[in-house]
């Protein structure tokens, strides 16, 4: 009995079953080597309808093959198992593993193999031609077919991978170029829109703000943006100088104060760095100061 990991001449290997290691969970195919351990099974024959099944089990730190009845066995009935149906798959498995593991122990020739090889390769000493032209058997033809298919599959996958990467790189490059073009176009559009809005804002004529008694009526938000530059409108802090001035002007309710003391309506603002004209208005019970450049 040998595990499939160790390679033997496949003509002497018979597949019994596929077992699972009880501790590690690893799966392995179980084989019986007819040359090395076949004598122990000389009373066990194979049959298309076997009455027993071979199972691989551990016992006393050893791995053993046990035979379990699959049906009622009559007295004097021969014990049979089925182990020849997987011969083809076993041969394919061994050939694939032999490609990966090469060494003197991977494949062992028997004396019969050597003699057969000598007979097949015997040549006429006079002409040098083979005495018996070699005719490939079934398994050699299967080997050739398998090698051809493996080569074609490898070549096919290489071509597919190459094409895939080429298409992938082309797609990525195309997407990056499209994204770059879109980004540049979008930035240009935004810049144009901002420039257009700025131009319209500068060129749009401002309506003259109400004066006199109308300065202190209740302005709507729309009117505030209509009459005043919104960026220069600030709410007056309570108890501040401007609040007191606004209340005073609101109480006076006339333009006489501005006419008599225009200097009081000029402020040298550190924020803007220029002289501004200030004006007050009321909205929602709040006082605001509107500053315009002189």
Burial of 106 (0-12, 13-18, 19+ CB in 10 A): middle
Q: Determine the Cα–Cα distance for residues 201 and 207; give it in Å rounded to an integer.
A: 13
List, in sequence order, every beta strand (DSSP E) within 34-177. 45-46, 52-59, 62-69, 80-81
The tally of CA atoms less than 13 A away on the side-chain side of residue 28 is: 16
Q: Which pLDDT score, from 0 to 100, does residue 59 have?
A: 66
Q: Tokens 């960026």, residue?
A: 231
Q: What is the pLDDT of residue 197?
A: 74
pLDDT of residue 80: 84
Sequence-separated contacts (24+) of 62-68 with Cβ below 8 Å: 63/1, 65/1, 65/16, 65/30, 65/32
Q: Give pLDDT, residue 114.
A: 62
Looking at residue 78, its pLDDT comes to: 85
Give the DSSP H or E segment for 32: strand 27-33
Interatomic CA distance for residues 176 and 170, integer angstroms: 10
Q: CB-based contacts of 90: which residues, under 8 Å, 6+ apart?
A: 4, 10, 13, 14, 15, 29, 31
CB 217 within 8 A of CB 210: yes
- pLDDT on residue 41: 53
| Tens digit of each residue's pLDDT, the chain (294 residues) | 344 444 445 554 555 555 555 556 666 555 555 555 544 455 577 777 788 877 666 666 666 677 778 888 888 888 887 754 433 333 344 444 444 443 443 344 455 556 566 666 777 778 877 776 566 666 667 777 778 777 777 777 777 667 666 666 666 666 666 666 666 767 777 777 777 777 776 665 555 555 544 444 444 545 555 544 433 444 444 445 555 554 454 444 344 444 444 444 433 333 333 344 556 555 555 555 555 544
DSSP secondary structure letters along 158-170: HHHHHHHHHHHHH
Whether residue 16 contacts residue 30, with contact meaning beta carbons closer than 8 Å, is answered with: yes
């Amino acid at each position: 009995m040998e595990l499939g990991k160790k390679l033997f001449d496949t003509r002497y290997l018979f597949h019994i079953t596929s077992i699972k290691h009880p501790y590690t969970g690893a799966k392995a195919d179980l084989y019986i080597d007819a040359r090395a351990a076949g004598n122990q099974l000389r009373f066990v024959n194979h049959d298309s309808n076997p009455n027993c099944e071979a199972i691989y089990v551990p016992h006393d730190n050893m791995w053993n093959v046990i035979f379990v009845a699959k049906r009622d066995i009559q007295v004097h009935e021969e014990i049979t198992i089925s182990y020849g149906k997987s011969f083809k798959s076993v041969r394919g498995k061994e050939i694939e593993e032999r490609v990966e593991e090469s060494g003197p122990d991977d494949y062992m020739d028997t004396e019969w193999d050597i003699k057969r090889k000598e007979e097949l390769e015997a040549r006429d000493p006079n002409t040098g031609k083979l005495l018996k032209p070699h005719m490939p058997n079934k398994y050699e033809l299967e080997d050739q077919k398998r090698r051809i298919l493996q080569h074609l599959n490898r070549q096919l996958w290489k071509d597919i991978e190459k094409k895939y990467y080429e298409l992938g790189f082309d797609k990525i490059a195309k997407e990056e170029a499209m994204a770059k073009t879109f980004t540049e176009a979008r930035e240009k559009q935004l810049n144009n829109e901002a420039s257009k809005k700025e131009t319209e804002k500068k060129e749009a004529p401002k309506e003259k703000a109400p004066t006199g008694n109308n300065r202190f009526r209740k302005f709507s938000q729309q009117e505030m943006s209509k009459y005043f530059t919104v960026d220069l409108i600030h709410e007056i802090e309570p108890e501040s100088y401007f609040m007191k001035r606004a209340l005073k002007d609101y109480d006076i309710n006339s333009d006489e104060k501005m006419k008599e003391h225009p200097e009081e309506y000029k402020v040298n603002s550190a924020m803007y760095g220029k002289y501004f004209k200030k004006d007050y208005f009321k909205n929602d019970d709040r006082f605001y100061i509107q500053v315009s450049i002189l």
